[in-house]
Structure 1
Amino acid sequence: MRRSVVGRGAYALARVAVIVRAPAGWLWWSGLLAAGIGALVPAPAGREIGLPAGAAMFVIAAFVVFGVRRRRYATLADGASRAVKGAILQDRAVTLRIWRRAHRWWLLLAFLAAVGSSFALPAAGGLLMAGAALGLWGKAQWLGRWEREQDALLWVRTESAARGGAAGKGVRGYLTTGAAAGDAAPGGARR
Protein backbone atom coordinates (compact mmCIF):
# COMPACT_ATOMS: atom_id res chain seq x y z
CA MET A 1 0.00 0.00 0.00
CA ARG A 2 1.26 3.47 -0.70
CA ARG A 3 0.55 6.38 1.54
CA SER A 4 -2.41 8.43 0.40
CA VAL A 5 -2.52 12.13 1.17
CA VAL A 6 -5.84 13.17 -0.31
CA GLY A 7 -6.63 16.48 1.28
CA ARG A 8 -7.36 18.15 4.54
CA GLY A 9 -9.29 15.77 6.78
CA ALA A 10 -9.68 13.19 4.00
CA TYR A 11 -8.00 9.81 3.92
CA ALA A 12 -7.99 6.70 1.74
CA LEU A 13 -9.45 3.40 2.92
CA ALA A 14 -8.90 -0.14 1.66
CA ARG A 15 -11.16 -3.09 2.37
CA VAL A 16 -9.81 -5.38 5.07
CA ALA A 17 -11.08 -8.57 3.40
CA VAL A 18 -9.54 -7.58 0.07
CA ILE A 19 -6.13 -7.11 1.71
CA VAL A 20 -6.47 -10.53 3.37
CA ARG A 21 -7.43 -12.17 0.05
CA ALA A 22 -4.78 -10.35 -2.00
CA PRO A 23 -2.09 -13.07 -1.92
CA ALA A 24 -4.50 -16.03 -1.97
CA GLY A 25 -5.00 -16.37 -5.72
CA TRP A 26 -1.33 -16.07 -6.49
CA LEU A 27 -0.34 -18.52 -3.74
CA TRP A 28 -2.99 -21.01 -4.83
CA TRP A 29 -2.12 -21.20 -8.52
CA SER A 30 1.64 -20.93 -8.11
CA GLY A 31 1.49 -23.47 -5.27
CA LEU A 32 -0.38 -25.97 -7.46
CA LEU A 33 2.07 -25.32 -10.31
CA ALA A 34 5.04 -25.82 -7.97
CA ALA A 35 3.46 -29.02 -6.63
CA GLY A 36 2.93 -30.30 -10.18
CA ILE A 37 6.53 -29.54 -11.12
CA GLY A 38 7.70 -31.06 -7.84
CA ALA A 39 5.82 -34.29 -8.47
CA LEU A 40 7.89 -34.77 -11.64
CA VAL A 41 11.24 -34.12 -9.96
CA PRO A 42 13.21 -37.23 -8.94
CA ALA A 43 14.09 -36.89 -5.26
CA PRO A 44 15.60 -39.16 -2.61
CA ALA A 45 12.37 -39.16 -0.59
CA GLY A 46 10.22 -40.04 -3.61
CA ARG A 47 6.60 -39.21 -4.33
CA GLU A 48 5.40 -41.92 -1.92
CA ILE A 49 6.68 -39.76 0.95
CA GLY A 50 6.51 -36.29 -0.62
CA LEU A 51 2.84 -36.29 -1.59
CA PRO A 52 1.44 -37.45 1.79
CA ALA A 53 3.81 -35.05 3.57
CA GLY A 54 2.65 -32.27 1.25
CA ALA A 55 -1.00 -33.11 1.93
CA ALA A 56 -0.36 -32.91 5.67
CA MET A 57 1.43 -29.57 5.22
CA PHE A 58 -1.50 -28.33 3.10
CA VAL A 59 -3.99 -29.02 5.91
CA ILE A 60 -1.74 -27.65 8.66
CA ALA A 61 -0.95 -24.47 6.69
CA ALA A 62 -4.64 -23.86 5.96
CA PHE A 63 -5.58 -24.09 9.65
CA VAL A 64 -2.60 -22.06 10.89
CA VAL A 65 -3.06 -19.23 8.37
CA PHE A 66 -6.80 -19.17 9.06
CA GLY A 67 -6.20 -18.89 12.81
CA VAL A 68 -3.31 -16.40 12.87
CA ARG A 69 -4.36 -12.98 14.22
CA ARG A 70 -8.06 -13.85 14.22
CA ARG A 71 -8.45 -12.46 17.71
CA ARG A 72 -6.83 -9.20 16.60
CA TYR A 73 -9.12 -8.98 13.56
CA ALA A 74 -12.16 -9.61 15.80
CA THR A 75 -11.07 -6.98 18.31
CA LEU A 76 -10.50 -4.39 15.59
CA ALA A 77 -13.82 -5.25 13.92
CA ASP A 78 -15.81 -5.04 17.16
CA GLY A 79 -14.26 -1.65 17.95
CA ALA A 80 -14.77 -0.23 14.44
CA SER A 81 -16.16 3.27 14.07
CA ARG A 82 -18.10 4.84 11.23
CA ALA A 83 -16.02 6.27 8.35
CA VAL A 84 -16.43 9.98 7.66
CA LYS A 85 -17.99 11.23 4.44
CA GLY A 86 -14.66 12.60 3.20
CA ALA A 87 -13.03 9.14 3.14
CA ILE A 88 -11.87 7.91 -0.27
CA LEU A 89 -12.76 4.24 -0.82
CA GLN A 90 -10.05 2.41 -2.74
CA ASP A 91 -11.24 0.09 -5.51
CA ARG A 92 -10.71 -3.65 -5.09
CA ALA A 93 -8.51 -3.86 -8.21
CA VAL A 94 -6.31 -1.01 -6.96
CA THR A 95 -5.86 -2.66 -3.56
CA LEU A 96 -4.90 -5.97 -5.19
CA ARG A 97 -2.49 -4.31 -7.62
CA ILE A 98 -0.74 -2.27 -4.91
CA TRP A 99 -0.41 -5.29 -2.60
CA ARG A 100 0.95 -7.56 -5.31
CA ARG A 101 3.35 -4.93 -6.60
CA ALA A 102 4.72 -4.41 -3.08
CA HIS A 103 5.14 -8.15 -2.48
CA ARG A 104 5.95 -9.52 -5.95
CA TRP A 105 9.55 -10.46 -5.09
CA TRP A 106 8.46 -12.34 -1.95
CA LEU A 107 5.84 -14.21 -3.97
CA LEU A 108 8.41 -15.11 -6.64
CA LEU A 109 10.90 -16.28 -3.99
CA ALA A 110 8.19 -18.41 -2.35
CA PHE A 111 7.45 -20.07 -5.69
CA LEU A 112 11.14 -20.75 -6.38
CA ALA A 113 11.62 -22.10 -2.84
CA ALA A 114 8.62 -24.41 -3.29
CA VAL A 115 9.99 -25.76 -6.57
CA GLY A 116 13.49 -26.07 -5.08
CA SER A 117 12.20 -27.94 -2.03
CA SER A 118 10.85 -30.62 -4.37
CA PHE A 119 14.39 -31.92 -4.82
CA ALA A 120 14.19 -33.02 -1.17
CA LEU A 121 10.45 -33.65 -0.72
CA PRO A 122 8.44 -33.73 -3.97
CA ALA A 123 5.38 -31.43 -4.18
CA ALA A 124 5.42 -30.56 -0.46
CA GLY A 125 6.43 -26.90 -0.82
CA GLY A 126 3.79 -26.22 -3.46
CA LEU A 127 1.08 -27.86 -1.39
CA LEU A 128 2.18 -25.78 1.60
CA MET A 129 1.67 -22.61 -0.47
CA ALA A 130 -1.74 -23.79 -1.66
CA GLY A 131 -2.75 -24.54 1.92
CA ALA A 132 -1.76 -21.02 2.98
CA ALA A 133 -3.95 -19.66 0.17
CA LEU A 134 -6.90 -21.73 1.37
CA GLY A 135 -6.40 -20.36 4.90
CA LEU A 136 -6.43 -16.78 3.58
CA TRP A 137 -9.63 -17.40 1.60
CA GLY A 138 -11.19 -18.90 4.73
CA LYS A 139 -10.21 -15.88 6.80
CA ALA A 140 -11.65 -13.52 4.19
CA GLN A 141 -14.90 -15.50 4.26
CA TRP A 142 -14.93 -15.31 8.05
CA LEU A 143 -14.59 -11.51 7.78
CA GLY A 144 -17.34 -11.55 5.16
CA ARG A 145 -19.66 -13.35 7.57
CA TRP A 146 -19.02 -10.62 10.16
CA GLU A 147 -19.77 -7.99 7.50
CA ARG A 148 -23.05 -9.67 6.51
CA GLU A 149 -24.15 -10.05 10.14
CA GLN A 150 -23.39 -6.41 10.92
CA ASP A 151 -24.62 -5.15 7.52
CA ALA A 152 -21.42 -3.11 7.29
CA LEU A 153 -18.10 -3.33 5.46
CA LEU A 154 -14.72 -3.19 7.23
CA TRP A 155 -12.10 -0.73 5.99
CA VAL A 156 -8.60 0.22 7.11
CA ARG A 157 -6.59 3.34 6.39
CA THR A 158 -4.15 2.61 3.59
CA GLU A 159 -1.15 4.19 5.32
CA SER A 160 -1.75 2.00 8.40
CA ALA A 161 -2.08 -1.21 6.38
CA ALA A 162 1.10 -0.40 4.42
CA ARG A 163 3.19 -1.01 7.53
CA GLY A 164 2.16 -4.54 8.39
CA GLY A 165 -1.09 -5.56 6.75
CA ALA A 166 -4.71 -5.22 7.73
CA ALA A 167 -4.10 -6.29 11.35
CA GLY A 168 -0.54 -5.04 11.86
CA LYS A 169 0.72 -3.07 14.84
CA GLY A 170 0.26 0.21 12.97
CA VAL A 171 -3.49 -0.36 12.63
CA ARG A 172 -5.29 1.42 15.46
CA GLY A 173 -8.79 0.56 14.36
CA TYR A 174 -11.12 -0.26 11.53
CA LEU A 175 -13.75 1.92 9.98
CA THR A 176 -17.12 0.84 8.63
CA THR A 177 -19.39 1.88 5.81
CA GLY A 178 -22.74 0.63 4.65
CA ALA A 179 -22.89 -2.72 2.88
CA ALA A 180 -23.39 -1.07 -0.54
CA ALA A 181 -20.15 0.97 -0.42
CA GLY A 182 -17.18 0.09 -2.60
CA ASP A 183 -16.92 -2.42 -5.41
CA ALA A 184 -16.23 -5.60 -3.43
CA ALA A 185 -18.79 -7.93 -1.81
CA PRO A 186 -18.58 -9.02 1.84
CA GLY A 187 -15.47 -11.18 2.14
CA GLY A 188 -13.60 -9.20 -0.52
CA ALA A 189 -14.81 -10.99 -3.65
CA ARG A 190 -15.90 -9.13 -6.77
CA ARG A 191 -19.50 -7.90 -6.74
Structure 2
Amino acid sequence: MALLPFRRQPAAPALKEGYSLKLDHIPDGATINRLLQACGDAIHPEERWSLALSRSFWVMTILDNDHALAGFVRATTDQALNANLWNLAARPGPDQVHLVEVLVHRSLAVLRRDLPGCSISISAPPQALNALKNHGYILDPGGIRTMGLRLRSPVEPEESRAWRDSNPRPSEPESDALSN
Protein backbone atom coordinates (compact mmCIF):
# COMPACT_ATOMS: atom_id res chain seq x y z
CA MET A 1 0.00 0.00 0.00
CA ALA A 2 1.45 3.36 -1.02
CA LEU A 3 1.39 6.24 1.39
CA LEU A 4 -0.46 9.40 0.53
CA PRO A 5 1.87 11.89 -1.19
CA PHE A 6 1.54 14.53 1.55
CA ARG A 7 2.54 11.96 4.16
CA ARG A 8 5.86 11.21 2.46
CA GLN A 9 8.10 14.01 3.55
CA PRO A 10 11.76 14.27 2.65
CA ALA A 11 14.29 13.69 5.39
CA ALA A 12 15.23 16.78 7.36
CA PRO A 13 18.27 18.36 5.72
CA ALA A 14 21.12 18.89 8.16
CA LEU A 15 22.36 22.45 8.22
CA LYS A 16 25.90 22.65 6.86
CA GLU A 17 28.76 23.48 9.18
CA GLY A 18 29.30 27.21 9.55
CA TYR A 19 25.60 28.07 9.83
CA SER A 20 23.11 28.21 12.69
CA LEU A 21 19.31 28.23 12.52
CA LYS A 22 17.49 30.63 14.83
CA LEU A 23 13.79 30.87 15.58
CA ASP A 24 12.69 34.36 16.59
CA HIS A 25 16.07 36.03 16.10
CA ILE A 26 14.70 39.21 14.57
CA PRO A 27 17.07 41.12 12.27
CA ASP A 28 16.51 44.79 11.48
CA GLY A 29 14.83 45.96 8.29
CA ALA A 30 18.07 47.14 6.66
CA THR A 31 19.64 43.70 7.12
CA ILE A 32 16.60 41.93 5.68
CA ASN A 33 16.50 44.34 2.73
CA ARG A 34 20.18 43.67 1.96
CA LEU A 35 19.46 39.93 1.83
CA LEU A 36 16.36 40.40 -0.33
CA GLN A 37 18.21 42.73 -2.69
CA ALA A 38 21.11 40.27 -3.02
CA CYS A 39 18.54 37.62 -3.98
CA GLY A 40 16.92 39.89 -6.58
CA ASP A 41 13.72 40.22 -4.54
CA ALA A 42 11.80 43.41 -3.88
CA ILE A 43 12.84 45.39 -0.83
CA HIS A 44 10.47 47.18 1.53
CA PRO A 45 10.68 50.50 3.38
CA GLU A 46 12.72 49.94 6.54
CA GLU A 47 10.13 51.61 8.75
CA ARG A 48 7.51 49.05 7.60
CA TRP A 49 9.62 46.09 8.65
CA SER A 50 9.10 46.66 12.38
CA LEU A 51 5.32 46.49 11.87
CA ALA A 52 5.54 43.41 9.62
CA LEU A 53 7.84 41.63 12.07
CA SER A 54 5.66 42.49 15.07
CA ARG A 55 2.65 40.98 13.28
CA SER A 56 4.53 37.80 12.41
CA PHE A 57 3.80 34.55 14.24
CA TRP A 58 7.52 33.81 14.17
CA VAL A 59 10.70 34.66 12.30
CA MET A 60 13.28 32.06 11.26
CA THR A 61 16.81 33.02 10.27
CA ILE A 62 20.01 31.30 9.28
CA LEU A 63 23.19 33.05 10.42
CA ASP A 64 26.72 32.31 9.26
CA ASN A 65 29.79 32.09 11.53
CA ASP A 66 30.12 35.88 11.41
CA HIS A 67 26.48 36.23 12.54
CA ALA A 68 25.58 37.68 9.13
CA LEU A 69 22.09 36.93 7.82
CA ALA A 70 22.27 34.06 5.32
CA GLY A 71 18.60 33.00 5.25
CA PHE A 72 15.24 34.40 6.28
CA VAL A 73 11.55 33.52 6.35
CA ARG A 74 8.65 34.74 8.46
CA ALA A 75 5.22 33.29 9.18
CA THR A 76 1.86 34.93 9.70
CA THR A 77 -1.35 33.17 10.68
CA ASP A 78 -4.92 33.69 11.81
CA GLN A 79 -4.19 30.80 14.25
CA ALA A 80 -7.24 28.97 12.97
CA LEU A 81 -7.23 27.90 9.34
CA ASN A 82 -4.45 29.70 7.49
CA ALA A 83 -0.72 30.28 7.72
CA ASN A 84 1.53 32.09 5.28
CA LEU A 85 5.28 32.07 4.76
CA TRP A 86 6.72 35.37 3.54
CA ASN A 87 10.05 36.72 2.33
CA LEU A 88 11.70 33.32 1.92
CA ALA A 89 15.27 34.15 0.95
CA ALA A 90 18.76 32.66 1.14
CA ARG A 91 22.01 34.41 0.31
CA PRO A 92 23.18 33.71 -3.26
CA GLY A 93 26.15 31.42 -3.58
CA PRO A 94 27.03 27.73 -3.58
CA ASP A 95 24.91 27.04 -0.45
CA GLN A 96 21.78 28.92 -1.53
CA VAL A 97 19.72 25.88 -2.59
CA HIS A 98 20.71 24.03 0.59
CA LEU A 99 19.78 27.00 2.80
CA VAL A 100 16.39 27.32 1.09
CA GLU A 101 15.75 23.58 1.58
CA VAL A 102 16.55 23.91 5.29
CA LEU A 103 14.29 26.96 5.69
CA VAL A 104 11.40 25.30 3.84
CA HIS A 105 11.69 22.02 5.74
CA ARG A 106 12.11 23.57 9.19
CA SER A 107 9.45 26.24 8.73
CA LEU A 108 6.88 23.68 7.53
CA ALA A 109 7.77 21.41 10.45
CA VAL A 110 7.23 24.24 12.94
CA LEU A 111 3.91 25.25 11.37
CA ARG A 112 2.65 21.66 11.26
CA ARG A 113 3.66 21.20 14.90
CA ASP A 114 2.20 24.47 16.18
CA LEU A 115 -0.80 24.80 13.85
CA PRO A 116 -1.87 21.30 12.79
CA GLY A 117 -4.49 21.34 10.08
CA CYS A 118 -3.73 24.87 8.88
CA SER A 119 -3.58 25.55 5.19
CA ILE A 120 -0.09 26.84 4.43
CA SER A 121 0.62 29.15 1.52
CA ILE A 122 4.03 30.40 0.52
CA SER A 123 5.28 33.34 -1.47
CA ALA A 124 8.48 31.82 -2.83
CA PRO A 125 11.35 32.69 -5.15
CA PRO A 126 12.32 30.41 -8.06
CA GLN A 127 15.18 28.92 -5.99
CA ALA A 128 12.59 27.40 -3.62
CA LEU A 129 10.45 25.60 -6.20
CA ASN A 130 12.22 22.23 -6.02
CA ALA A 131 12.19 22.25 -2.21
CA LEU A 132 8.46 23.01 -2.24
CA LYS A 133 7.74 20.27 -4.79
CA ASN A 134 9.65 17.82 -2.57
CA HIS A 135 7.30 18.75 0.28
CA GLY A 136 4.20 18.02 -1.78
CA TYR A 137 3.34 21.53 -2.91
CA ILE A 138 1.60 21.87 -6.23
CA LEU A 139 2.64 24.96 -8.10
CA ASP A 140 -0.10 27.20 -9.43
CA PRO A 141 0.95 27.97 -13.01
CA GLY A 142 -1.97 30.32 -13.58
CA GLY A 143 -1.39 32.49 -10.52
CA ILE A 144 -3.66 33.14 -7.60
CA ARG A 145 -7.34 33.16 -8.35
CA THR A 146 -10.06 34.64 -6.20
CA MET A 147 -13.72 33.91 -5.81
CA GLY A 148 -16.38 36.36 -4.80
CA LEU A 149 -20.01 36.21 -3.84
CA ARG A 150 -22.38 38.92 -4.93
CA LEU A 151 -24.73 39.48 -2.01
CA ARG A 152 -27.38 41.31 -4.00
CA SER A 153 -28.65 40.22 -7.34
CA PRO A 154 -28.49 42.86 -10.08
CA VAL A 155 -32.26 42.59 -10.53
CA GLU A 156 -34.34 42.22 -7.39
CA PRO A 157 -36.92 39.41 -7.68
CA GLU A 158 -40.54 40.57 -7.46
CA GLU A 159 -41.27 38.62 -4.26
CA SER A 160 -38.25 40.20 -2.52
CA ARG A 161 -39.33 43.68 -3.55
CA ALA A 162 -42.89 43.01 -2.34
CA TRP A 163 -41.62 41.75 1.04
CA ARG A 164 -39.28 44.74 1.44
CA ASP A 165 -42.05 47.21 0.62
CA SER A 166 -44.43 45.59 3.13
CA ASN A 167 -41.79 45.48 5.90
CA PRO A 168 -40.14 48.90 6.04
CA ARG A 169 -37.06 49.41 8.21
CA PRO A 170 -37.60 51.30 11.44
CA SER A 171 -36.59 54.91 11.16
CA GLU A 172 -33.17 55.81 12.47
CA PRO A 173 -33.04 58.08 15.53
CA GLU A 174 -31.90 61.64 14.91
CA SER A 175 -28.83 61.14 17.11
CA ASP A 176 -27.43 58.41 19.27
CA ALA A 177 -26.95 58.61 23.02
CA LEU A 178 -23.22 59.33 22.77
CA SER A 179 -23.31 62.26 20.40
CA ASN A 180 -24.03 65.84 21.43
For Structure 1 versus Structure 2, the TM-score category normalised by the shorter chain is under 0.3
* More strand as a share of residues: 2
Q: Which has the higher contact order (CA 8 A, sep 6+)?
A: 1
Structure with max Cα Rg: 2
TM-score, with length taken from structure 1: 0.22
TM-score, with length taken from structure 2: 0.23
* More helix as a share of residues: 1
